Amino acid sequence: MKYKIVFGVLLFTAIFTFCGCASKAPPPAPPLPPPERIFVESPPETLMPLTVNILQRLFDSLDQTAADIHKYQMILFGRIFLERNYTQSSNRLESGRVTFEDLHIREEITIMDQTEGQVLGYEIVNDEIILSVCFEQEDRYIDCQLVFSSMAWDVDGYFYLKYNTNARSSLADEKGILQYGGPEYKLKFTGERSPYLLIKLTQRDTDRLNARTASGRRVQ
């Protein structure tokens, strides 16, 4: 009987010790923090006026300019407003009676400031660099292009809108006329300065040191 009591006490103690140890198991390790990610900001994109100097830096030759300039995004600086009035005449026959009809049409085209465009034509005439730029997305307007120009010797000169100032009307807001897709339009734009082209440009300045020590040269 005495041995049974002792055995029971030992058994109870062992069970109690095991349960106590199990209840005091160490908590699981906290999850590892995610790896730190470092974001490097890229240089800001800037809209810069297109100049002859920029063209010379982009292209090594005139042939390369003509072949690749269409790959660069152009931006219009300044709002352009085009207007023309024309008449379409027609006739129709009803019950033996002919009717002449003249339809008077007023057409207006607005090209907003900051509108994107693509250079589709490039040529040099008498030291004048001429760019033909399309600001229309639809293929049916592919021939609707505006002409911008700058003198080749003026490396810092902008590419301004080219138009006929001799046909300027007496109205103060009409600057002249130009052709757009064939027909001639009266031209209006805001301000006294003619609209010109911008180009998307990012400028990076990087410092690099090339240093070495001469090893010498032994005569054999």
Q: Is 167 left (phi over 0), alpha (psi -120 to 50) or beta?
A: alpha
Q: Quote the domain boundaries for residue 188.
A: 46-201
Residue range 36-62: mean pLDDT, rounded: 76
Separation of alpha carbons 138 and 212, rounded Å? 58
74 located within any domain: yes
Domain count, the chain: 1
CA distances from 129 to 150, 151, 154, 160 (A): 5, 6, 10, 11
- pLDDT confidence of 33, banded at 50, 70, 90? low
21 located within any domain: no
118 located within any domain: yes
- pLDDT confidence of 49, banded at 50, 70, 90? very high
125 located within any domain: yes
54 located within any domain: yes
Tell me: pLDDT of 13 over 60. Answer: no
Query: Residues 91-147: pLDDT tens digits?
Result: 887 887 888 888 888 999 999 999 999 999 999 999 999 999 999 999 899 999 999
1 located within any domain: no
What percent of the chain clears pLDDT 70, i.e. is strictly above it? Answer: 76
213 located within any domain: no
